Amino acid sequence: MRFQLLETAAALYAERGYEAVSMRDIAKVVGVTQANLYYHFKDKADLIQATLAHVFELRGLSLQGWIAEHPGDQLDAFVRWFVTALMTDRVFARLLYRELIDGDGERIAMLSRTVLQLPFQVITDAVANGRSAQDAKMVAISYVGFVVGQVLILPLSPGLTGQDDGSENADAVATRLLGLMRSANVEA
């Protein structure tokens, strides 16, 4: 039941935003009473924290699979995983974007200290060769921002570049981004 509540809350928060979704809305979609919902979560703030942790932890587990499949190149594995997640997992992408734009400072701090540590450590480790720990973290943050920004702006690409319909697949986008990252890294 808890899993179903979290999945439903994630879909509703991703679609409408945290402020626009009530506990009553979630209970109604799942088909339970509000009392049942409050049995699992003490309040709406508890539910959003649990929902975000649930979504981002599940995606973090999928990152571990990508890393296992590409043990020799963690940067490649991270970028391909992240681009694919942002382009194909609407709930993950929207929740991430919504939290970055509208998120509560405490929730963002909690996420960055907990469930987002694994993905961030993966990319930090991937860029760490020959850098200080602080430099690697700043480069990792830049790479994450670069990927998020590039994927977010894809719908504008056809109008800006004059190219076809902008319907690139995740692999093509990741390959282009990795090429840009690696060429910028060589020049830096």
Summarize pLDDT for 44-89 with one digit per residue, the tens: 999 999 999 999 988 888 888 888 887 788 889 899 999 999 999 9
Domain map of the chain by residue range? 44-187
- Is the pLDDT at 123 greater than 90? The verdict is no
Averaged confidence pLDDT in the chain: 88
Among residues 127, 42, 36, the alpha carbon closest in space to that of 78 is found at 127
1.20.120, 1.10.357, 3.60.90, 1.10.150: which CATH number matches 44-187? 1.10.357
- Give the C-alpha separation, 20 to 171, whole Å: 34
pLDDT digits (tens, 9 = 90+) for 81-110: 999 999 999 999 999 999 888 878 888 888
Confidence at 187, pLDDT banded by 50, 70, 90? very low
Q: What is the pTM of this model?
A: 0.86
Percentage of residues in the chain having pLDDT higher than 70: 95
In angstroms, the CA 143 to CA 131 distance is 15
pLDDT-derived band at 113 (thresholds 50, 70, 90) equals confident
